[in-house]
Amino acid sequence: MFDMPDVSFFLFGMGNREKFLYKDGKLMESFTGRVVKEWDVDEELIIPSLYRVLLKTADGKTVLLQEDEKGFWLHEGGKKSFPLVEDQSRLVLPTFEKKRFPRILKVLHQEILINIVDGVPLPNYFVYKKGWRRDGAMMAICLEKTRNIELIKSWVLNFADPYDRNNAGEEEADNLGQTLFLLSLFADKNHPAVARTLEEIRRFERKNDQGKYIQGRSDFAEKPVYQTKFLKWGLKKMGLPDDYIIPDVQDDYATLFWWDYKESHRPGTVDADDHVKNDYYPYLGWAADHFHGLKRNPVSNRDYPLTWEINASQANYEGMRIINSQYTVQRNATPHTWHAAEIFLYLLDGDMPGNDDN
């Protein structure tokens, strides 16, 4: 468990809907802070897995804020007063009723969907304004499983650059495979960005006695195993030739790619033993646990949100102040979609009951 600030709030606006923040009896526009509705609250109940906030006002009235597949609704005094958002972004919201942890899966799914803004999948929309290929690829795997992948179609089809350049402008080598994978969801090899991505691969090619692989920088360090795994998977998903081998070298990101090429791992690689790193960037530990079949990494000690990222170099934590200044001081972006995706996929995978059904 990880001690999150004791702050009660809930986010509405899954998918490409308008974004709203509820806290302290106020419903606000997330990006402007404009108060849409305000109540003198006597009692408050937030039910994250039902996408609901239930209020009892000081004058005895009941208020229900609820989001569903068709929209975001306000009920006052037992009546559905009006839709705050209706039919703006149709969603598929599985119940996960055949899974072992259905309520947790529903909350994690919400934390992924809530961070899609105008078709762009963001790590956290309060502190990031641009989509990341790395985080976006993990979100896409989840969205494909829940039949919500069309939500990010426009973002992907508009790719022109093989890189997102979000880490201080660097051209990160893992972006190449991520770009190919994302494009494969909506396009074929004739998409213009595919040819440009294939050209860029040559810059990162290396050879050893076993064969050819790629090596460059990701998160400010060389990660050849992780980068080559993503490239091979992207080529496979796009139906393109692949003559690359996965190098037998140390790489502390090797276990972040856990769903294929699992035999390619050098024992002794440090991947999930740094507790400080995994508290700050918990998706790293969850991915490593998924690779190794272990259970040793944290979730939030709050019902909502369940996920976070702390002290990231490219995040603007002032954006969290609208929720509470504790998050800004702590440099904590919550919820966080890569973290949510890793836990979500971990719980869906393996021997979970009803694994074939959403």
CA distances to 85, 105, 115 from 110, rounded to whole Å, are 16, 8, 9
What's the pLDDT tens digit per position in 58-97?
A: 999 999 999 999 889 999 877 666 566 666 668 999 999 9
Per-residue pLDDT band at 262 (split at 50, 70, 90): confident
CB atoms within 10 A of CB 52: 18
Average pLDDT, the chain: 91
Pairing mode of beta strands 116-117, 120-121: antiparallel
Exposed / middle / buried, residue 248 (Cβ in 10 Å: 0-12, 13-18, 19+): middle
Q: What is the pLDDT of residue 56?
A: 96
DSSP states of 35-87 as a string?
Answer: EEEE--EEEEEEEGGGTEEEEEETTS-EEEEEE-SSEEEEEETTEEEEEEEES
> Of 37, 292, 119, 15, which is closest to residue 23 (Cα–Cα)?
37
Specify the DSSP element, H or E, that contains 22: strand 20-23
User: Is the omega angle on the peptide bond into residue 353 within 30 degrees of 0, that is, cis?
Assistant: no
Q: What is the pLDDT of residue 349?
A: 87
Question: Cα 24 to chain center, whole Å?
Answer: 26
Does residue 96 come out as left (phi exceeding 0), alpha (psi in the -120 to 50 range) or beta? left
What's the pLDDT tens digit per position in 297-344?
A: 878 889 999 999 999 999 999 999 999 999 999 999 999 999 999 999
Tokens of 227: 């980068």
User: Is the omega angle on the peptide bond into residue 298 within 30 degrees of 0, that is, cis?
Assistant: no
> What letter would DSSP give residue 214?
E
* CA-CA-CA-CA torsion sign (131, 137, 138, 141): positive
Q: Using CA atoms, how far apart are residues 203 and 215, in angstroms rounded to an integer?
A: 9
Nearest 10 degrees: CA dihedral of 267, 173, 343, 274? 50
